[in-house]
């Protein structure tokens, strides 16, 4: 077990990597922590696994989307992997005083898209600033540095939103961000930055590597969801019915 002490705040790095879930099923719409599979919401509530529908985080690691195969319901599905320190909500209040712990969880579909929308906003704003400053250096590196600065300086807020769709009710996480509002939140941002920079150098990489996630990603590499489609099959599928497909003549 490891801990980080920043000023008067303490942050736990759990050795067993607690499993944080964002359950978007119609009866849930809540965070769950270390919840066994296939529990009803009543069983999860009685077991103390439910952790509310809102949480604010300092983000240590945000990994690019990658496909994962978890089970028959999630095959080659792209997920975003986050490593976070809760600073508000039930995920934080389980610890009294200026204390919290590092957690990881996966997002997909609309929750993932909502988070990506924030990154698009930051990148767009950074690109505008790069243009205004006379286009110095590489714009890609400039935007990456701007996004890193956002992670270093802002608290990210996650709240479940309910959707009534054609296929029934489901939930997704709506993301926003704000300035830190206390010394504890500033300490959490500093701890997140230490974890992030340590992972880049390899010193804390083990803290932010989940073996289960890696196995699911490996499953996706060796178990593609759909067979490859040849060029001829693709061209055929685009032709109107009862029309002869004429092969292209390549020179």
Nearby residues of 5 by Cβ (< 8 Å), 6 or more positions away: 11
How many C-beta atoms surround the C-beta of residue 236 within 10 A?
12
List the chain domain ranges: 2-118+154-237
pLDDT digits (tens, 9 = 90+) for 166-195: 778 889 999 999 999 999 999 999 999 999
| Residue pointed to by tokens 């996630």 | 213
Residue 143 has a pLDDT of 85
How would you write the pLDDT of the chain (251 residues) with one tens digit per residue? 899 999 999 999 988 778 888 888 887 889 999 988 888 889 999 999 999 999 999 999 999 889 999 888 888 999 999 999 999 999 999 999 999 999 999 999 889 999 989 888 888 898 999 999 999 999 888 888 888 888 999 999 999 999 987 778 889 999 999 999 999 999 999 999 999 999 888 988 888 988 888 998 998 876 555 555 555 555 555 555 444 444 545 44
Position 24 scores a pLDDT of: 86
**Amino acid 135: pLDDT:** 93
């Amino acid at each position: 077990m490891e801990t980080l002490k920043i000023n008067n705040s303490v942050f736990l790095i759990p050795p067993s990597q607690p499993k944080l879930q964002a359950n978007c099923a119609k009866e849930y719409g809540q965070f769950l922590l270390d919840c066994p599979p296939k529990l009803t919401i009543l069983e999860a509530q009685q077991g103390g696994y439910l952790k509310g529908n809102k949480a604010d985080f300092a983000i240590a690691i945000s990994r690019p989307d990658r496909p994962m195969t978890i089970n028959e319901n999630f095959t080659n599905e792209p997920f975003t992997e986050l490593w976070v320190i809760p600073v508000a909500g039930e995920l934080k209040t389980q610890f009294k005083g200026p204390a919290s712990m590092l957690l990881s969880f996966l997002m997909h579909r609309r929750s993932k898209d909502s988070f990506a929308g924030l990154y698009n906003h930051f990148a767009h704003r950074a690109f505008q600033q790069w243009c205004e400053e006379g286009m110095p250096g590489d714009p890609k590196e400039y935007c990456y540095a701007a996004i890193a600065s956002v992670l270093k300086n802002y608290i990210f807020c996650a709240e479940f939103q309910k959707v009534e769709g054609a296929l029934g009710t489901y939930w997704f996480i709506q993301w926003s961000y704000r300035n830190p509002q206390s010394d504890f939140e500033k300490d959490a941002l500093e701890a997140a930055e230490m974890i992030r920079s340590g992972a880049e150098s390899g010193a804390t990489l083990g803290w932010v590597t989940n073996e289960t996630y890696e196995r699911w990603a490996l499953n996706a590499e060796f178990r593609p969801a759909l067979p490859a489609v040849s060029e001829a099959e693709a061209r055929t599928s685009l032709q109107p019915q009862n029309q002869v497909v004429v092969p292209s003549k390549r020179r």
